Structure 1
Amino acid sequence: MRKRWTGLVTAACLVVTAAPSLAVAAPAAPAPHERTAAASGEVADYCRGQCHDILPPGENGSATAAQIILNKITGAKPKHTDDQLGPYADLVDEYAGLTDGKLSTFFNDASFGVPDDQVESRKRPGGRDDVTITRDKSGIPHIKGTTRFGTEYGAGYAAGQDRLWMMDVFRHIGRGELTSFAGGAEGNRQLEQQFYLGGAYRESELAAQVDRVRNSGPRGEQAFQDVTAYLKGLNRYISDAKKGLYFPGEYDLTGNADIFTGDGIEPFEATDLVAIGTVISALFGSGGGNQVAAALVKQAAEHKYGKEEGEKVYRAFRMQNDPEADLTLHDGQRFDYAASPENPRAVAMPDPGSVSRQQVVYDPTGSAADGQQAKRTSGTDAVGTGAVAESARERSATSDANVRHKPELAQAEGALSDGVLPKDLFARKHGMSNALVVSGKHTDTGNPVAVFGPQTGYFAPQLLMLQEIQGPGLSARGAAFAGLNLYVQLGRGQDYAWSATSANQNMTDTYAVDLCNADGSPATKDSSGYMFHGTCTPMEKLVRKNAWSPTVADGTKAGSYKLVAHRTAYGVVRYRATVDGDPVAYTTLRSTYRHEVDTLIGFQMFNDPEAVTGPESFQEAASRIGYTFNWFYADARHTAYYNSGLNPTRSPGVDPNLPIRAGASTEWRGWDPETNTVPNTPDAEHPQDIDQDYYESWNNKIAKGYTVAGFGDGPVYRSNLLDRRITSLISDGGKVSRASLTRAMEDAAVTDLRGEAVLPELLKVIDTEKVTDPELKETVDGLRGWLEDGAKRKETGPGTRTYAHADAIRTMDAWWPLLVEDEFRPGLGPDLYGALTDALQIDEAPSTPGGGVAHKGSSFQHGWWSYMHKDLRKVLGEQVPGAAPETFCGAGDVAQCRHVLLSALEKAARTPAKSTYPGDDVCEAGDQWCADSIQQRPLGGITDDLTNWQNRPTYQQVVQFPAHR
């Protein structure tokens, strides 16, 4: 819907021409009676100025329509939109000389409270006298309440101030209704479809999650009260913003609000927070679910090599428990979980060529006639198992899209023309990185040091928001996902700090359910019934009906479709196939499905100074979180680690890494199919530790025996970059400081993993003979020089946008895909090679769109580096633990292997930069720096500058507590 565009343009022009300063200012300053002091009483802060953090691009994620238009015309931005982006980006150029005293140049002071000379504003939201929001000069809200209700009310109000539009987008994504809300642009459609099967719920099921937590005990009841207060504060902000006409301009630009009244912005309900939680869970906290891809690799390996040899090849490439993998728990601890048994039962391997993806989109319609008003509606129907059709809330509006308005308006709306979120946001689960935690016995003061944070991607505004929250039972500062920020999720308490990385252990299994027809006729792959405990049972069809109207800027036509999820007791259908000739549906069953909200209790405990008093109580709180995370802790005396996740106990003999034949004998132990409730494995079986000499994590393997989901976790993983630097710092009695550990992190952040870890092996093979061709020798010497200089991807100087060793880096970027294919494809054959590349991408260099995502910063999580490292060492005659039975490079002959490497290298050297870096919507073809650069990908109308590549957490803390309670 596009309401009253003429009025919008007129209002915007008045603001831009008559009072330009208002267009970029924060919402109007509070009235004098609102500028009251925070509640009296100081909060204990044992960090004493030694806690820092950073979260680009800036705290403010809200802009009016006039501000968005002005941004497109002049580049001006609302205050605090990007003021943390510069310090974050500048660390790339300055880290070598970093000292403890200079940390504040690149990080915020994360102390509790706001000194008087750093106060920018104070506000008592809703006129309440039990809470004050004090914003510092970075715009960060410090919420202080004298009552628990008031404190959470303030958290909700602050969330509305900083992230209202984004929260609204995410509650629609969580329901699969983004196009009905924000239009039918391709990006919106693709994003909606990618997510829908992972979070298909009825409204009643979202509400049931809230009720279950409320009834789970005292902490659950408190969480419900916190949510209630949070929503009241959030909805009060919406009311205030509508009255003051400073609500986010994206509502206008997508036609979801009246420019003069704000009508169309709906209040938030508890179920909206559940919908947001399902999105965050899908992105960061669920491991497994890729068993069909693994089955296709195994099938292709057995077809190529025979069953026995093929099994060995499959296991070598799967690397479930590779003996050379970097381990977070490296002192010999062992935690056995989810490994494939020697002789598995009930494995449901698909018949060759029979696998097809489950259809998601149904009944797409064409465009409406010009000038017709299109109605946006959304709803969910549940059909099957006797369920009565149930519809969600409807949202409707009108559109006047037959007139093109002023260019500046079209430009502003054009910022959203491809969709309000990147279409590839869910193309791959994100890796949360990283953590460097060093015990006090290796530090300068005897107190542990931690440099850690999550890599949640780079967006404008950011998915996370910074806040401090102080009130009865609440005392923390840090980052939280917008819409879930009633508690700090990663940050610091009074005398401790904590963070997380994604753990990726398998808590999502794939079941093959036998298909059937209720009338007894022969089943086909398209059948809508399945066998459950001996009875042919109808699948539930969860249907989301979406319709969208035309847009002004991008020419999208009106249309509609239905999103359909087919659900069984064993989860949502993802694929259809045949197994031994019989039709089956492959479903994915996630242990946290219908239980996303349960995790709220663990976060509540993290924020409670009475609940977390040391490493053991921290681990207890972490155990209450159902998502698959590695949790790290540091206080003045101790460090700790805990692996969270709702890990189901499998039936004996089943293989959780391949599809499982569904049936009573193969189900999770203690599983209740009615509510998808399953007991967690015993606490002692979750990897955990206190006071190891150091911990490092970059989504790598956790401990011996603990199987992660996915391929390629072997001797070369990006966590090696951290491990080498930490061990170098503490070797020979070295003492670690906050600055030195930050330097180690940043040095790893600008290093090419292939260059540091694999290039030495490549050069060993090449150096078995002298390179006589002058041009080729120059190329090899260039790579050698780059390696000797640390294999960095760094500019020649600040702002030059030109890399030192640019030719060597370009050569490596062009060489790697050629190298992998030439080394492995001939021996593996096209079918097995294709199945393996589907299961694990070849490369994830900064300029490589990993999972289809470019300019994302996070790099080198997924690739074939371990495969090549092992294979080259075998060629050189080394004994290689865990290697494949076959040697692929040159069929094991070093001279032939050398020929393969040099032949590929020669092609790479001649590949023009424009081919290696083909360009996109933000970069010209051939621009190496730009291809690598980080983009704060717009989630709204304001855009930010590109910055240097660095492989680093989005939100990051640097902490060292000198004292403890």
Structure 2
Amino acid sequence: MPRRTPLTTLDRLRTPGRFTGFLKTASVCALIAALLSPLAQTTAAAADVTAANDYCGGQCSDILPPGENGNATLAQILLNQAFGTQPEHAEDQLGPYANLAKGYSSLTNATINTFFNDASFGVASDQVASTLSPAGRTDVTIVRDKKTGVPHITGTTRYGTEFGAGYAAAQDRLWLMDVFRHVGRGQLTAFAGGDPSNQGLEQQFWRNAPYTEADLQAQIDNATANNGTRGQQALADANAYLDGINSYIDASDSGRYFPGEYVLTGHKDSITNAGTIDHFKITDLVALASVIGALFGSGGGGEVNNAISLLAAQEQYGVEQGTKVWEAFRERNDPEAVLTVHNGESFPYGGKPADAQGEALPDAGTVSTEPLVYDPTGTGGDQSASATAAAATASALSSARRGMSNALVVSGKATASGHPIAVFGPQTGYFAPQLLMLQEIQGPGISARGASFAGLSMYVELGRGQDYSWSATTSGQDIIDTYAVELCQDDYHYLYHGTCTAMDKVELKNSWKPTTADATAAGSYTMRVWRTKYGPVAYRATVGGKKVAYTTLRSSYMHEADSIIGFQMLNDPDYVKSPQTFQSAVQHINYTFNWFYADANHTAYYNSGDNPVRAAGVDAEFPVWAQAAYEWKNWVPATNTADYTPASAHPNSVDQDYYISWNNKQALNYTTASWGDGSVHRGNLLESRVKKLVAAGGVTRAALVKAMADASLADLRAEDVLPDLLRVINSSTVTDTTAAAAVSKLQTWLTAGGQRTETTAGSKTYANADAIRILDAWWPLLVKAEFEPGLGTDLYTAITANLPIDEAPSAAHGPTGSHAGSSFQYGWWSYVDKDIRAVLGDSVQGALPQKYCGSGTVSSCRDVLISTLKTAAGLTAAQVYPGDDLCAAGNQWCADSIVQRTLGGIKHYNISWQNRPTFQQVVEFTSHR
């Protein structure tokens, strides 16, 4: 049997830990020598590739760290672990990406590609590194460039083009694709060697999408049948793509250059080559899509937690006042919130109904989470380990789900050239290998370059076409509702339209056994989900004394494959020719995204997602009874289809003066499922900078990149909240020496810009380090001292479950977790801002129902702030930054730093913190078809 070493993939997601258990440095050299020979792949002679129909005029750029090459042989992994060497193109985009943090201030249009790649179509003849005709095909070539190794796929037939896309994807991301198809199927633990830390990852996704093989196939059949010619083409494209993937698997197996992780997890033997790498099948693509959709494209599902915090507010204040308090903190439609569509147009959705109908709030103290794990055996199946892993995953993966993506798009009316400019991209986290991969695809009906999720790269998902570019940010509007199904007979039957109906039981057993004495112990456990017509059961409770199961119904549930049509359209140069056709394309994407567009003449925006039409009076914030009167309009349980709000009701716009998005509120009266869309949001960091540029006019690509980069280093608390905190403190002379010294340092930092940036490039030391340490220590102390006395401990705790108080770069306790880059999306910034301004007597729109800081007087509030500031100033760096397996306690820069979290055997160096997209484009088209 091949030797098996457990791969702790969950640790790769939540910590910068190291690939462990297989490396003995003293024995490395001989093994490496034996393995080096199959590293080289035979390629055809390099051929010149010329750009086809490229209207960007050399002004399109992109970047995706750490590097395009996400596959490594066993020898390369061992060399990396022993000596730090990198496979070619594994981290060559990491340095340019990192260097922008200190290099942006002197940026010019001419130096943009010092920090980005040239994203022009094609490869110049002197930049061709290799040309491959995969599997000897004559209808497709894969050209890789010298600088980045990005595959440029050119086909003369549609089948050949997609075959090449699949082959290139496997060349660059085979192991990662295999990991995530097993995540989507709830089978990661056994696949990756049995380590229990993987269980939380597979449990989170399988609970939300507990699909059987028949369910996966049905989604493909439905997407194909319901979309006519395009549906048939998508199926043909997917099958050709799979053929390419599987062709590479066979070639790499016979040539013995498959990813080394297969050896390290027991799937292949490094000496005999025994073992197999399973071919991919079409249902694997749906499993992959379900993971990506859950991470990045679904909003809502928090109705039970909302209900718990509402009940806590009503317990504290009484029903009427408690409801007002809850609504104030929920900020459904805050008048001070930054908006993407800022021209005053209203798009009502998800607002509070005048007279809520069908609410099914739980009886206090009765809510319990539905168990997922059953029959655990062995070390790997230990319940406590599983629970710990699940909890860690819930926090860690929310870094991808919560903190993502930004966009800065400026109309040609405000640019120096008269052409629109865009700087935009998704924040998908930092991983090694990266979840996204770069590619260019040119073939019949396809012409695009950009990024795609590994394993779903039959089309470019975010990138550029011949004369247009597009990108997305996560929008988070509510497409998930919670229903209270009344139980009958027992805990596994429920009332459906008056008839006692059995729940469907879906089970999946994971088991593993050791192959060597030092491998992970044998173990197994079963995951069980009870499904109803209203979706899977998530919680149990009583409502008015009646036993209920709370289910979650997602509009994209059983429809993971549907969005393929929209992506197909985005890649089709004969379809997308204008802002309107772009909007039409993304209307076919059922996940919740904000989409942005720029060509040489126009800009556009559209918010996608299947927004269900709810019954009159239903409040989407809370659970409702599972009764016909409260179902989605024309909902069909068998297909999970319903009426959805029309395209015109989705926030959309063409040629607004500028657009910004950083997961903020989309438009007036459009309520997302996210808490925290208030007066202070990280979108403000973009809004203030872009608005100033547009007002001045003459915007250039360099200027817009600078605005993005400047915002990416800003501490939101310092820029938008600290000035008012200091106003309160400085309302009288600060006599305490400790507090006075802290105030002085904070003011100096604020005057310098309030950024978290190195003294000099590579110094790994922050300018104004003491001030940053003080604010990091002060924020959680001041929030608690400001609000807990007035709210009461129970309500304060309940609201923090809806919205964490802090998401600073080093706040490992926040929703993003440590070393994840994305920061300042979720926190109590607006609450502090509104409360402090109210205490100061400023005008506050959408004010909180009472003044909390020091019971509302400036002097008492000042006492609270000074007291907590003194405590914070007295904390050492080691106390504020306690250290982890990457950073020593007290190392502030390291605590903030970004780590490419290993999902395989190759690891990379950490880089200085930047709050920016993972994949990013800079585009300005010079002409249009």
* Fold-level similarity (TM above 0.5): yes
C-alpha distance in 2, partners of 1:59/1:615?
31
Q: Give the direction of change, closer, same or farther, for the CA distance of 1:18–1:323 in structure 2 (3 Å limit).
A: closer
Task: Say which of 277, 280, 292 aligns to 1:280.
Answer: 292
1:120-519 alignment runs, 5 A limit: 120-137=129-146, 138-216=148-226, 217-259=228-270, 260-261=272-273, 263-366=275-378, 425-427=396-398, 429-517=401-489
C-alpha distance in 1, partners of 2:31/2:895?
40
Q: Give the direction of change, closer, same or farther, for the CA distance of 1:19–1:179 in structure 2 (3 Å limit).
A: closer
**Contact 1:437/1:639 (<8 A) preserved:** yes
**Contact 1:191/1:425 (<8 A) preserved:** no
Q: Give the direction of change, closer, same or farther, for the CA distance of 1:830–1:15 in structure 2 (3 Å limit).
A: closer
Q: Give the direction of change, closer, same or farther, for the CA distance of 1:559–1:911 in structure 2 (3 Å limit).
A: same
- The structural deviation recorded for 1:566 is 1.2
**Contact 2:132/2:142 (<8 A) preserved:** yes
C-alpha distance in 2, partners of 1:297/1:143?
52
- The structural deviation recorded for 1:125 is 0.2
Task: Say which of 821, 837, 853 aligns to 2:784.
Answer: 821
**Contact 1:88/1:107 (<8 A) preserved:** yes
**Contact 1:219/1:601 (<8 A) preserved:** yes
With normalisation by structure 1, the TM-score equals 0.91
- The structural deviation recorded for 1:773 is 1.5
**Contact 2:402/2:815 (<8 A) preserved:** no
**How many matched pairs?**
901
Tell me the alpha carbon deviations over residues 716-770 of structure 1, each in whole angstroms, 9 at most, x when there is no partner. 0001000111112122x33110001000000000000000000011011111111
Letter in 1 for 2:169: A
Describe the SS at the equivalent of 2:322: helix
C-alpha distance in 2, partners of 1:467/1:236?
19
- The structural deviation recorded for 1:27 is 4.0
C-alpha distance in 2, partners of 1:611/1:752?
42
Letter in 2 for 1:109: D
Show the counterpart of 1:737: 700
Q: Give the direction of change, closer, same or farther, for the CA distance of 1:256–1:19 in structure 2 (3 Å limit).
A: closer
Q: Does 1:689 align with 2:636?
A: no
With normalisation by structure 2, the TM-score equals 0.94
Show the counterpart of 1:943: 907
C-alpha distance in 1, partners of 2:25/2:277?
20
- The structural deviation recorded for 1:877 is 1.2
C-alpha distance in 2, partners of 1:140/1:21?
29
Task: Say which of 112, 117, 121 aligns to 1:108.
Answer: 117
Tell me the alpha carbon deviations over residues 247-306 of structure 1, each in whole angstroms, 9 at most, x when there is no partner. 011111111223333632100000000000000000000000001111111111111111
- The structural deviation recorded for 1:489 is 0.2
Task: Say which of 540, 562, 565 aligns to 2:526.
Answer: 562
RMSD over aligned CA atoms reads: 2.1
Describe the SS at the equivalent of 1:77: coil
Describe the SS at the equivalent of 1:120: strand
Tell me the alpha carbon deviations over residues 783-841 of structure 1, each in whole angstroms, 9 at most, x when there is no partner. 01111111010011111111000000000000000000000000000110010001100
Task: Say which of 727, 731, 734 aligns to 1:764.
Answer: 727
C-alpha distance in 2, partners of 1:124/1:644?
38
- The structural deviation recorded for 1:187 is 2.1
C-alpha distance in 2, partners of 1:232/1:804?
53
Q: Does 1:76 align with 2:85?
A: yes
Q: Does 1:56 align with 2:78?
A: no
Show the counterpart of 2:805: 842
Letter in 1 for 2:110: G
Tell me the alpha carbon deviations over residues 185-212 of structure 1, each in whole angstroms, 9 at most, x when there is no partner. 2320111122221110010110011111
Describe the SS at the equivalent of 2:178: helix
C-alpha distance in 2, partners of 1:491/1:814?
40
Letter in 2 for 1:53: D
- The structural deviation recorded for 1:550 is 3.3
Show the counterpart of 1:377: none
- The structural deviation recorded for 1:549 is 2.4
- The structural deviation recorded for 1:537 is 1.1
1:459-858 alignment runs, 5 A limit: 459-517=431-489, 523=490, 527-550=491-514, 556-731=520-695, 733-849=696-812, 850-851=814-815, 853-858=817-822
Q: Give the direction of change, closer, same or farther, for the CA distance of 1:566–1:57 in structure 2 (3 Å limit).
A: same
C-alpha distance in 2, partners of 1:2/1:862?
45
Show the counterpart of 1:385: none
Segments of 5+ residues of structure 2 without an aligned counterpart are 6-20, 382-388
- The structural deviation recorded for 1:657 is 0.8
- The structural deviation recorded for 1:330 is 0.3
Describe the SS at the equivalent of 1:597: coil
Show the counterpart of 1:398: none
Show the counterpart of 1:414: none
Q: Does 1:88 align with 2:88?
A: no
Describe the SS at the equivalent of 2:774: helix
Show the counterpart of 2:18: none
Tell me the alpha carbon deviations over residues 401-421 of structure 1, each in whole angstroms, 9 at most, x when there is no partner. xxxxxxxxxxxxxxxxx99x9
**Contact 2:406/2:424 (<8 A) preserved:** yes
Tell me the alpha carbon deviations over residues 32-54 of structure 1, each in whole angstroms, 9 at most, x when there is no partner. xx33647x875100001000000
Show the counterpart of 1:3: 3
C-alpha distance in 2, partners of 1:894/1:94?
42
C-alpha distance in 1, partners of 2:317/2:920?
47
Q: Give the direction of change, closer, same or farther, for the CA distance of 1:515–1:236 in structure 2 (3 Å limit).
A: same
**Contact 1:258/1:264 (<8 A) preserved:** no
- The structural deviation recorded for 1:73 is 1.0
**Contact 2:32/2:79 (<8 A) preserved:** no
Describe the SS at the equivalent of 2:291: helix
**Contact 1:11/1:66 (<8 A) preserved:** no
Segments of 5+ residues of structure 1 without an aligned counterpart are 369-373, 375-417, 518-522
Q: Give the direction of change, closer, same or farther, for the CA distance of 1:603–1:12 in structure 2 (3 Å limit).
A: farther
Q: Does 1:896 align with 2:860?
A: yes
C-alpha distance in 1, partners of 2:316/2:376?
41
Letter in 1 for 2:648: A
**Contact 2:297/2:593 (<8 A) preserved:** yes
C-alpha distance in 2, partners of 1:841/1:634?
35
- The structural deviation recorded for 1:367 is 5.1
C-alpha distance in 2, partners of 1:284/1:141?
25
Letter in 2 for 1:235: N
- The structural deviation recorded for 1:425 is 4.4
C-alpha distance in 2, partners of 1:339/1:367?
48
Show the counterpart of 1:65: 74
Describe the SS at the equivalent of 1:313: helix
- The structural deviation recorded for 1:427 is 4.1
Tell me the alpha carbon deviations over residues 451-480 of structure 1, each in whole angstroms, 9 at most, x when there is no partner. 000000000000000000000000000000
